[in-house]
Amino acid sequence: MAGSKLAVVGAGSVGTSLAYAALIRGSASNIALFDVNAPKAEAEALDLAHGSQFAAASAAVTGGGDIAVTEGADVVVITAGAKQNPGQSRLDLAGTNVRILEQLMPPLLERAPDAVYVLVTNPCDVLTVAAQRISGLPPERIFSSGTVLDTSRLRWLLARRAGVSVTSVHASMVGEHGDTEFPLWSGATIGPVPIRAWTAGGERIFTPEYLADTAREVVQAAYKVIAGKGATNYAIGLSGARIVEALLRDDNAVLPVSTVLSGLHGISGVALSLPSVVGRGGVHRVLETPMDDGEPGGTAPFGGYPAPHYGRAGTLKGRHATPPQPLRWRVRISSPTEVHAVQAQRRTNRSNP
């Protein structure tokens, strides 16, 4: 978009993939890449700039180790943080990455006070709450990529099964961007046809068993990619660029980003992904998404399980016991400078690394 500026914080595999996706898609007319490793940021920006002739639209690319490169950004995407290694869950990264946010947010706000901030760093839901508290920004201006990528993974699997275009599949993953996320099968369709009613050769192919296996595959997708190549980067780069476009082009696109909720489904003070209207200025509206009795949130918060909540001293407690990967976890923000992620109990037969 003409006259728009995107700042990407972090020149690792995710940040550079997002900057590359934004460049070739023409997401912004000015792309700035910042990293504390100045030579890396400068080299990545130079490499991108060398190919800008072949991008979808003209764009200037800059980068370096001076946070001043983010000056005046319309959108700031934060990808900086500890890398998720094989065998680690996203929640294992919480303490380190909140401390990084504490260092980043104040100088970023000085240089881009009017920007919308999008977090891609994991665990993105926990970090969204922390970043909102650190920055003081309203929830609509600081949110995370949430389950946008997970939703893309789900739609790809369903499209492959049905033999249709991915763009014809309408289904969403919601909740935590992590082991307890779940699909909304009740609202899933291929074109106008409910997913459970879709037939091939006269038979319904999306059986309960297949849907359960598909949900499990989506939940475990990142672990599989990380085990094979060490990181997920291309798909999250593309999905991040799509969020940027929705913001800069005022698309009013419905995307399952993660915002700090205030009363929706009986939940407040916790960031979770739900379909939301995203346009210029941030998240315009979190949709009141219908759920059936078999889905968490259908008839009571999280299907009758205690909804996560912040108690005294900012303690987030909750249990998301949703098939196929039940998990109880607790995240404690005991002060603006401390976050502990504690996975209190897992099933012993969990198949995730």
205 phi and psi, to 5 degrees?
-95, -15
Element (H, E) at 48: helix 38-50
Q: What sign for the dihedral angle of Cα 291, 293, 296, 298?
A: positive
| CB of 258 closer than 8 Å to CB of 143 | yes
Q: Which of 233, 234, 123 is nearest to 178 (CA)?
A: 123
Q: Round to whole Å and give the CA distance between 131 and 109.
A: 11
Cβ neighbours of residue 185 under 8 Å, at least 6 residues apart?
A: 171, 195, 196, 211, 294, 295
For residue 327, what are its two tokens? 């998990």
| CB of 175 closer than 8 Å to CB of 181 | yes
- Say if strands 338-346 and 60-64 run parallel, antiparallel, or are unpaired: unpaired
Element (H, E) at 276: strand 276-279
Query: Which residue in 50, 170, 177, 284 is the catalytic one?
Result: 177
Q: Which of 91, 118, 98, 84 is nearest to 233 (CA)?
A: 84
- Other C-beta atoms within 10 Å of 307: how many? 22
Would you call 177 a catalytic residue per the annotation? yes
| CB of 320 closer than 8 Å to CB of 305 | yes
- Other C-beta atoms within 10 Å of 213: how many? 13
Active site positions, annotated:
177
